[in-house]
A and B are shown apart, each in its own frame.
Chain A
Amino acid sequence: MSLAELPLLFALIGLVLYTVLGGADFGAGFWQLTAGRGSNAERIREYAHHAIGPVWEANHVWLIFVLTVVWTAYPVAFGSIASTLSAPLFLAAIGIILRGTAYALYSGVQTAREGRRIDTVFALSSILTPFALGTMVGGIASYRVPVGNAQGNPVSSWLNPTSILLGALAVAVAAFLSSAYLSADAHRQGDAGLEQQFRWRALGAGVVSGAVALAGLAVVRIDSPTIYHGLTSGAGLVAVICSALAGLATLALVGLHRFGPARYTAPLAVAAIIAGWALAQRPDFLPGLTITQAAAPRATLIAVTVAVLAGAVLLFPALALLFQLQLRGRFDPGPPAAPGGHTGPPPDRRPGKPRLYAIAAGGCLLAGFGLLTIADAGWAHAAGVICLLAAIAFGVPATAPTTLADT
C-alpha cells in the first residue's frame, strides 16, 4: 500500500462505519414504516426511536468524513463522481435532511398520532437515502463514471442493473443491521416480546440481504465484468467468502439469541464486501484513472494522513465512551436523578465585586480599541483581540446577570 492509497483506505473504513452505524438508523426507519397499525406497531415505532437517540448524530458524521477525505485526497475523482452522479447524490441529500429533521422533531412529540405522522413522512427517506447511495457505488463499480465535469450519462450512470441491485442491497442490509441491534437492545432491557419481534425481522432481512447479494453476483457478471472478475479471483474472492461466512454466522448468532458476538460479525460482513469491491477495482478509481493518478500532491496526502490519525487518536476513545454508555444502558429510559439542592437564591450570596470587574472590562476595551483599531502592526492586532475578548469576559461578572433575576 502506497501513500497514494492510504487516504482511500481511511475513506473506505469510514464508509464501512457509516454503512453499519448510519445504516442501522436508516433500517430503524424502515421498520417504523413497515410496522403497520395498532398498539404493537406503536411499540415497535417508539422503540426504534429510543435505540438511536444519543448516538444518532455521531453515526451520521461518518458520511461527512468520507466525503471530505475523498475530495481532499482525490479531488479530480470526487468532482467527476459528484457531477455525473448528481441525481442520486441529491436524492440522498434530501433523504438525509428529512431523516435528520424527523430525529429533531421527535423530542417534541406528545401523542402517538403525531409520532406516526412524522414517522410515515420521514421513514420513506430512510429507504431513499441508502438506496441512492447504493446506486452511486454501483455507478462507480460498473465503470460508468468517466473523468471530468458531468461527462457520464446522467441517468444510466445510476439507473443500471448493478446500481439498482446495490441500492436494494443497501436497504436490505440497513434493515438487517437495525433489527439485529434493536433485538439486542430489547434483550438487554429484558423485553422478551420486542426482542422476539425484532429477531424475526432480523432473520428475515438477513436472508433477503444474502439472496440479493447472491443475485448481485449474477447481475455483476453480465453488467460489469471487470468487477466480477475481481470478486471471483484472488483477494477479492477471499473477501467475498469472508463476507458470506460472517453473514451466515450473524444469522446463526441472532437465531441463537447470542447478540453480543453478532454485534461484531454483522459489521465484519459489511466490511468484507466493501473491501472486496475495493480490491476488485484496484488499481482503478475511475475508467482511465488509477488511484495513484487521482491522488493529490504528496504534501496534501501527508497532511490528510496526519490529520486522520491524530483525529482518530482523539475520537476513538470518545466514541468508545459514547457506545459504552449506550450499550450498558446508561441512557435507558427511567427518570434521571434529581439534582438535589435548593430553589431560590442562596441566603449567603454576595454580589462579588462588580465594580472592580467593570473597571477591568473598561480598561481592556480601551486597550483593545487602541491596539486593534488605531495601531497597524500584526502583533498589536493579536494583543488587541485578546484585550477585547477579556473585556467581554470581565463584562459578565461586572454585569452580574444572575443578580438581575433576583430583583
Chain B
Amino acid sequence: MSSSDYLVAARQMQALSFAVHIPLVCFGIAFPAIILFVEWLWLRTGDELYWTLARRWSRVLVALFAVGVVTGTILSFEMGLLWPGFTGTFGSVFGLGFAIEGFSFFAEAIFAGIYVYGWGRLSPRAHFAAGIPMAVAGFTGSLTVISVNGWMNHPTGFTMRDGQVVEVRPVEALFGNSYFWHELLHMYLAGYMVTGFLLAGAYAVGRLRGRWGRYERTALAIPLTIAALAAPVQILVGDWAARAVATAQPVKLAALEGLGTSTAGAPVHLLGWYTHGEVHYGIAIPRLLSLLASHNPSAVVPGLDSVPADSVPPVNVVRIAFQLMVGVGSLLAALGVVFLIFQARRHRLPKTRWFYRALVAAGPLAVLALLAGWTTTEVGRQPWVVYGVMRTAEAVTGAGGIPVGYAVLALVYIGVVAAVIWILRRLASTPLAPLDTPPARTMTGLR
C-alpha cells in the first residue's frame, strides 16, 4: 500500500486532534486573563465574592489546561507520526516557532501551578503577580504556533534547491511574515468569544434553573461583556483576513466563494451548493466579492480555473465551513450588540428567558464557528501542506496502520471529551474547600 492511500486517514486524524485541542487553546488564551481581571477586582474592592469566583474558575482552568497539555503533546507527536515528509524537509524553517512555543507553554504550566495551588498560600500581591506571566504566556504561545500556520499558508524565508531546503532564514520566515498577523488576531478574539460565551452559557443554564444570586450574576456578566465586545470586532478582523487571503491565496478565496471562473465584478453567494464550476441554489449579491476583496466593485477576482484542477481544494467543504463561520459569527455578534445596547439603556441584565436560552446556545455555537474557521483555512490550503511548495501527499508518513491509529485515537478522544464534561460538572457542583483560618489580608496599599 502506498503512502498516499493513508492520506485521507492521516488528514482526518490530524483534524480530529485539532478539533479536540483548539477549544482548549481558547481557554489557554483567554481564561487566565479573565481570571486575573476578577482577582484584580478583588484586590481593588476587597469584595470576597471576586476572590471566590477567581478561585473557582482557576480550578476549572487547571483541569482544562491539563487536558490541553496532553492534547497539545499529541499534536507535536503527529508532526512526526503523520507528516514526517513535512517535518523532515521543513523542520529547519518552521521548527523554531514550536521551540519558542515550548517555552511559552512551560511558563504557562509553571505559573499555572504556582497560581492555582497558591491561593491563600502566597500573599495577595505575589499571587496576582504569579498570574501575569501565565496570562502573557497564553498569548505568546498562540502567537508562535500561529506564526507557523501563517508560514504554511504563505511560505517565505528559505530557498528550495533540488528538493532540499537551503538558505534558511527561520526568524524572517516566521515573524517577518506579513501573513500571520490577521490569523493571530482572528484566533485571539475567537479565544475570548469561545471562553466568554461558554462561561456565560454555563451560568445562563443556572439562571434558567433558578440559580441566580449575586455570585451567578457576576460570573455571567463579566465573561458575557468580554465576548459581546469581541464578537462585533471579530467581523472587522475577519474581513481583513479575507482580504489578506484574496491577495496571497486567491485560489483559497475562490473556493470560499465557489467562484469557478475568473470574473470581473464577482458576486457573493449566500448558501447554495457548488457543482460544475458554479454555485447553484444560492442567493447572489452582485459585485460584492469584488468590492470586499479589492475595494473595487468591478475588479477581476481570480477563479478556480486559474490553476490546474489538481491544485483546487475541496470546494464545498471549504465553502460550507466558511459560510458556517461567517453565519454563526454574525449571529454571535448580533447577540453581543443586543446585550450591549440593552445594558446601555437599562443598566441591568435582561429578564427574558429567551436571552438566557440564546446564551446557552452561544457557547457551543462559538466553538462551532471556531472549528469551521479552522476548517476553512486548513482545508482551503489543500492540496498543499506548504502553500505552493509541498503537497500534503508528499508529507504523509509511509508507515502503515494509520487507520488503526485513527480509530484508537477517536475512541480515546471520545473518552477524553466525556471525562472533561464529567469534571466540569463535578467542579460546578462541588463547593470549594472550607476556609477556617483567620483573615490574613494586607490589602490597604492596593485600594
Q: A interface vs B, CB < 8 Å? A: 53-58, 60-61, 63-65, 67-69, 71-76, 78-84, 86-87, 89-90, 92-94, 96-101, 103-105, 107-108, 110, 149-151, 154, 296-297, 299-300, 303-304, 307-308, 311, 314-315, 318-319, 321-322, 325, 330-331, 335-346, 349, 358, 361, 365, 368-369, 372-374, 376, 378, 381-382, 384-385, 388, 391-392, 395-396, 399, 401-407
Are B168 and A402 interface neighbours, CB within 8 A?
no
Are B236 and A94 interface neighbours, CB within 8 A?
no
Are B295 and A376 interface neighbours, CB within 8 A?
yes
Q: Convert B403-415 into 0s and 1s, putting 1 for each residue whose CB lies closer than 8 angstroms to a CB of A.
A: 0010011001101
Min CB–CB distance B312 → chain A (angstroms): 26
Are B102 and A68 interface neighbours, CB within 8 A?
yes
Min CB–CB distance A123 → chain B (angstroms): 15
A64, A330, A369, A378: which has the most chain B beta carbons within 10 Å?
A64
B-side contacts of A65, CB under 8 Å:
99, 102-103, 106
Are B422 and A337 interface neighbours, CB within 8 A?
no
Are B93 and A300 interface neighbours, CB within 8 A?
yes
B-side contacts of A378, CB under 8 Å:
178
Contacting A at CB under 8 A, from B81-128, are 81, 84-85, 87-93, 95-96, 98-103, 105-107, 109-114, 116-122, 124
- Stretch of B47-55, B275-283, B326-334, B363-371 that contacts chain A: B47-55
Report if A314-B74 is in contact (Cβ < 8 Å); known contacts: A57-B109, A335-B436, A340-B440: no
Are B441 and A341 interface neighbours, CB within 8 A?
yes
Are B47 and A342 interface neighbours, CB within 8 A?
yes
| C-alpha spacing A308/B409, complex, angstroms | 32
Report if A96-B89 is in contact (Cβ < 8 Å); known contacts: A376-B295, A399-B229: no
Is B430 in contact with chain A by the CB < 8 A criterion?
A: yes
Tell which of A101, A322, A369 touches B70, judged by Cβ atoms closer than 8 Å: A101
A-side contacts of B222, CB under 8 Å:
401-402
Min CB–CB distance B58 → chain A (angstroms): 11
| C-alpha spacing A403/B420, complex, angstroms | 32
| C-alpha spacing A53/B116, complex, angstroms | 10
Report if A76-B63 is in contact (Cβ < 8 Å); known contacts: A307-B96, A315-B106, A376-B295: no
Are A58 and B106 interface neighbours, CB within 8 A?
yes
Are A97 and B74 interface neighbours, CB within 8 A?
yes
Tell which of B45, B99, B113, B398 touches A307, judged by Cβ atoms closer than 8 Å: B99
Min CB–CB distance A289 → chain B (angstroms): 12
Report if A75-B91 is in contact (Cβ < 8 Å); known contacts: A99-B70, A149-B85, A297-B167: yes
Is B41 in contact with chain A by the CB < 8 A criterion?
A: yes
Report if A331-B88 is in contact (Cβ < 8 Å); known contacts: A94-B412, A373-B236: no
Q: Convert B233-266 into 0s and 1s, putting 1 for each residue whose CB lies closer than 8 angstroms to a CB of A.
A: 1001101100000000000000000000000000
Are B87 and A78 interface neighbours, CB within 8 A?
yes
Min CB–CB distance A255 → chain B (angstroms): 31
Contacting A at CB under 8 A, from B54-87, are 59, 62-67, 69-74, 76-77, 79-81, 84-85, 87
Are A325 and B214 interface neighbours, CB within 8 A?
no
Are B435 and A335 interface neighbours, CB within 8 A?
yes
| C-alpha spacing A303/B97, complex, angstroms | 10
Report if A83-B171 is in contact (Cβ < 8 Å); known contacts: A65-B106, A97-B70, A401-B222: no
| Nearest-CB residue, chain B, relative to A121 | B415
Are A404 and B419 interface neighbours, CB within 8 A?
no
A-side contacts of B165, CB under 8 Å:
297
| Nearest-CB residue, chain A, relative to B215 | A405
| C-alpha spacing A376/B419, complex, angstroms | 47
Report if A90-B81 is in contact (Cβ < 8 Å); known contacts: A339-B120, A342-B46: yes
B47, B90, B109, B236: which has the most chain A beta carbons within 10 Å?
B109
Min CB–CB distance A313 → chain B (angstroms): 10
Are B225 and A396 interface neighbours, CB within 8 A?
yes
Tell which of A98, A304, A374, A399 touches B96, judged by Cβ atoms closer than 8 Å: A304
B-side contacts of A64, CB under 8 Å:
72-73, 76, 102, 105
| Nearest-CB residue, chain B, relative to A308 | B99
What is the interface size of chain B, counting residues whose CB is below 8 A from a CB of the partner? 125
B-side contacts of A382, CB under 8 Å:
181
| Nearest-CB residue, chain A, relative to B60 | A107
| C-alpha spacing A75/B84, complex, angstroms | 9
B-side contacts of A80, CB under 8 Å:
84, 88
Min CB–CB distance B242 → chain A (angstroms): 11
B-side contacts of A335, CB under 8 Å:
120, 433-437
Min CB–CB distance A170 → chain B (angstroms): 17
A-side contacts of B90, CB under 8 Å:
75
Are A315 and B107 interface neighbours, CB within 8 A?
yes
Report if A89-B99 is in contact (Cβ < 8 Å); known contacts: A385-B185, A405-B217: no
Are A314 and B84 interface neighbours, CB within 8 A?
no
| C-alpha spacing A378/B171, complex, angstroms | 20
| C-alpha spacing A79/B390, complex, angstroms | 15
Min CB–CB distance A18 → chain B (angstroms): 11
Report if A72-B348 is in contact (Cβ < 8 Å); known contacts: A341-B47, A346-B46: no
Tell which of A104, A315, A404, A405 touches B110, judged by Cβ atoms closer than 8 Å: A315
Is B208 in contact with chain A by the CB < 8 A criterion?
A: no
Report if A365-B71 is in contact (Cβ < 8 Å); known contacts: A83-B80, A296-B91, A381-B240: no
| Nearest-CB residue, chain A, relative to B423 | A108
Tell which of A61, A75, A108, A399 touches B63, judged by Cβ atoms closer than 8 Å: A108
Contacting A at CB under 8 A, from B262-320, are 295
Are A89 and B113 interface neighbours, CB within 8 A?
no
Are A343 and B99 interface neighbours, CB within 8 A?
no
Are B113 and A104 interface neighbours, CB within 8 A?
no
Are B99 and A68 interface neighbours, CB within 8 A?
yes
Is B218 in contact with chain A by the CB < 8 A criterion?
A: yes
Are B226 and A396 interface neighbours, CB within 8 A?
yes
Report if A154-B399 is in contact (Cβ < 8 Å); known contacts: A100-B70, A318-B110, A399-B340: yes
| Nearest-CB residue, chain A, relative to B95 | A72
B-side contacts of A104, CB under 8 Å:
62-64, 66-67, 419-420, 423
| Nearest-CB residue, chain B, relative to A340 | B439
Are A75 and B95 interface neighbours, CB within 8 A?
yes
Report if A54-B113 is in contact (Cβ < 8 Å); known contacts: A339-B48, A392-B229: yes
| Nearest-CB residue, chain B, relative to A79 | B88
A-side contacts of B230, CB under 8 Å:
392
Q: Convert B119-142 into 0s and 1s, putting 1 for each residue whose CB lies closer than 8 angstroms to a CB of A.
A: 111101000000001000000000
Min CB–CB distance A120 → chain B (angstroms): 15
A-side contacts of B91, CB under 8 Å:
71-72, 74-75, 78-79, 296
A-side contacts of B168, CB under 8 Å:
296-297, 299-300
B-side contacts of A373, CB under 8 Å:
236, 239-240
Are A338 and B438 interface neighbours, CB within 8 A?
yes
Report if A341-B87 is in contact (Cβ < 8 Å); known contacts: A89-B80, A396-B225, A401-B224: no
| C-alpha spacing A69/B87, complex, angstroms | 12
Are A150 and B398 interface neighbours, CB within 8 A?
yes
| C-alpha spacing A75/B88, complex, angstroms | 4
Min CB–CB distance B375 → chain A (angstroms): 23
Q: Can you identify 13 A-B contacts, CB atoms within 8 angstroms? A: A68-B98, A73-B92, A73-B95, A75-B92, A83-B80, A94-B412, A107-B59, A107-B423, A296-B95, A297-B168, A300-B96, A340-B440, A395-B340
| Nearest-CB residue, chain B, relative to A330 | B121
| C-alpha spacing A384/B398, complex, angstroms | 46
| Nearest-CB residue, chain B, relative to A99 | B70
| C-alpha spacing A365/B234, complex, angstroms | 12
Is B349 in contact with chain A by the CB < 8 A criterion?
A: yes
Min CB–CB distance B106 → chain A (angstroms): 5
Report if A407-B170 is in contact (Cβ < 8 Å); known contacts: A311-B100, A335-B434: no
B-side contacts of A58, CB under 8 Å:
106, 109-110, 113
